[in-house]
Structures are given as structure tokens and as C-alpha cells.
Structure 1
């Protein structure tokens, strides 16, 4: 009688590891795509804020403050 094969071999361990890495990378890609779609949607909503779209503000600090206010307004409307 021969001994039963081991439950785990180095090759099998490597394949399981590669599957986990591939799944993790796929999830990161899915998360990135969802984030990009949300950014595109938010960009469309920000275009309604004409002053931000054309950047009438003279300093970057004032522009960033306006951007924050617009983002808060859009976020609170949801």
C-alpha cells in the first residue's frame, strides 16, 4: 500500500496564492472603476457651479474653498 498524497503540495500552494493575488487585483480594479465613475458623475454635477467650471477666482486657496463648498452641497443633496 502506498501512502495517501499530501493534502498540500508546493505547486498547489503556489496556485492558491496566485488565485488570491489575482482576485485581490481584480477587486482593486473594480474599486478603481467604481471610483472613476463616481468622479465623472461628480464632475458633471460640479459643472453646474459655473464659477468653478471657469475658475473666476484669483487664488488657488479661494478656488479650493469653493470646490469644497460645492462638494459639500452636492454630497448633502444626496
Structure 2
């Protein structure tokens, strides 16, 4: 499978890769972290609202969210 590079003029996010490189986290937790970091700095997160942005159920989302809490990425 090849990688296709595109011009990054709009609708892109620049983020620190620490969480993405953390082997303690599942891909689910890494995705939640990336989604949260893609929001503006003043964004207020609500658990129920975050769950509506994916096809994962509540239990699945909570598992990924709890991983982030246990590893110190969110409070």
C-alpha cells in the first residue's frame, strides 16, 4: 500500500506525537486523543457529545477514554 501526499492548505491538524507513539494506548484511545487535540483550544468537551462523533458505542468510547485518563493524558 502506498502513501499519497497532498498539499496541506486547509482542514489539517498539527499535533504532538507523544500520545500517538505511546505503546500503552490502543488505537481507539489514540483516535480519541487526536480528535480532541484537533478542536480549538477553548473547546469544552462533554462525554455524551464526544460519543456522537463515532460509531463506537458508549462502553467502547469509555474504555478508550479511561486509557487516556490512566496514562495521564486527560484529567
Q: How does the TM-score come out when normalised to structure 2?
A: 0.32
Q: Which has the higher contact order (CA 8 A, sep 6+)?
A: 2
Is the helix fraction higher in 1 or 2?
Answer: 1
Q: How does the TM-score come out when normalised to structure 1?
A: 0.31
